[in-house]
Structure 1
Amino acid sequence: MTMSQDFAGISAGTLAAILLVGAIELANTFNLRASLEEKMNGMFASEIKESALALRADTKLPEERRIAVNKALATAAQLVKQGESLLTYAVMSWLFIYVFCGVTLIAVLVWSAQKEGQPDPALAIWSIASIAFSLILIVVAFSARLLLARKISREESKRRMAQELGIPAEEVSALSERWRRHHGFHS
C-alpha cells in the first residue's frame, strides 16, 4: 500500500467531508446542550414552582407531596447530569476527530503538493486509519446525542401521560408495567 495522487485525492475529499459533517454535528450537539436545562425546567415547571413557593413562604409541603416533588426534581437533575455527560463525550469525540482528521488532511495535502511524491506507505495507512477511526467516533458521538434525545422524549411522554391521566408522573411507569403484564405484553 502506497500513496498515489488518486488515493491522496480520495483521502483528502473523505477527510474534508468528515470535517464538514463534524461541523454540523458539533453545532447540533451545542444546540442540544444549550436547550437541555431549559427543556428540563419546562418539563418540571410545576414541581419547581411548587417547591419554590413553599420555600418562599417558609412552609413545608405535605409529606406525600414533598416526596413526589423531590423525586421529580431528582429525575430532572439526573437527566441534566446524564445529558451533560453524554454531550461532553460527544463534544470531546468531535474535537478529537477534528484534530485527527485535520492533521491527516494537512499531511496528505503536503504529500500531494510535492512534484514527485515518494510512495509513503505510512501516510497511506495513517490516512485509512484516520478515516476509519473517525467514522467509528462519528457513530459513537451521534449515538450519544440520540440516546439523550430518547431519554428526554421518554420523560416527556411519561409526563404527558401523567397529565392526561391526572396522576403523578412517578406512577406512570409502574402503572404502564402493570397494564402490560395484565394484557400479556412483556417489556
Structure 2
Amino acid sequence: MAMSQDFAAISAGTFVAILLVGAIELANTFGLRAALEEKTSLMFASEVKESALAIRTGTELPEEKRLAIDEALATAAQLTKQAQALLTYAVTSWLGIYVFCGTSLVAVLVWSAQKDGKPDHALAIWSILIITLSLILILVAFSARLFLSRKITIEEQRRKAAQELGIPVGEVSALVARWRRHHGFDS
C-alpha cells in the first residue's frame, strides 16, 4: 500500500466530506442542546413553579407531591447532564477530527503537489487510519444524539400520558408494564 495520485484524490475528497459532515453534525448537536433546554423548561415548568412557590412562601408540600416534584427535577437534571455530556463529547471529538483531518488533508495535498511524488506508505496508512477513526467518531456522535433525542421523546410521552390519565408521572411506566404483561406483550 502506497500513496498514489488516485488515492490522494480519494483521500482528499473523503477528508473534505468528513469536515463538512462534522460541521453539520456539530450544528445539529448544538441545536439538540438548545431544543432540550426549551423542552425541559416546558416539561418541568409546573414542578419548578410549585417548588419555587413553596420555598418562597415557606409552605410545606405534601409528601406525595414533594416526591413527585423531586423525581421530576431529578429527571430534568439527568436529561440536562446527558445533553451536556453529549455536547462535550461532540465538541471534543470534532475538534480532534478537524485537527487530524485538516492536517492529513494538507499532508496529502502537499504530497500530491510534489513533482516526483514518490510512493509514501506511511501517509497512505495514516490517511486510512484517520478516515476510519473519523467515521467511527461520526457514527458514535450521531448514535448518541439519536439516543438522547429518543430519551427526551419518551419522557415527553410519559409526562403527556400521566397528564391525560390523571396519574403521577412515576406511575406511568409501572402502568404500561402491567398493561403489556396483561395483554401478553412481555412473555
TM-score band, normalised by shorter chain: over 0.9
Q: Which runs of 5+ in 1 are unaligned?
A: none
Q: Residues 77-105 of structure 1: CA distance to partner in whole angstroms, max 9, x if unpaired?
A: 11111221122212222221111111110
Structure 1 residue runs of 4+, over 6 Å off? Answer: none
Q: Secondary structure at the match of 2:185?
A: coil
- Per the alignment, residue 24 of structure 2 pairs with 24
Q: Secondary structure at the match of 1:48?
A: helix
- Cα root mean square deviation, aligned: 1.2
Structure 2 residue identity aligned to 1:128: I
Q: Using the alignment, how far apart are the partners of 2:87 and 2:142 within structure 1?
A: 10
Q: Using the alignment, how far apart are the partners of 1:73 and 1:47 within structure 2?
A: 7
Q: Using the alignment, how far apart are the partners of 2:63 and 2:163 within structure 1?
A: 21
Q: Using the alignment, how far apart are the partners of 2:92 and 2:140 within structure 1?
A: 11
Q: How many residues are treated as equivalent by the alignment? A: 187
Q: Using the alignment, how far apart are the partners of 1:145 and 1:95 within structure 2?
A: 17
Deviates more, 1:42-51 or 1:84-93: 84-93
Q: Using the alignment, how far apart are the partners of 2:70 and 2:128 within structure 1?
A: 51
Distance 1:87 1:186, change over 3 A: farther
- Per the alignment, residue 118 of structure 1 pairs with 118
Structure 2 residue identity aligned to 1:174: A
Q: TM-score, normalised by structure 2?
A: 0.96
Say if 2:176 is the partner of 1:176. Answer: yes
Deviation at 1:34, TM superposition (A): 2.5
Say if 2:79 is the partner of 1:71. Answer: no
- Per the alignment, residue 158 of structure 1 pairs with 158
- Per the alignment, residue 57 of structure 2 pairs with 57
- Per the alignment, residue 140 of structure 1 pairs with 140
* Identical aligned residues as a percent: 74
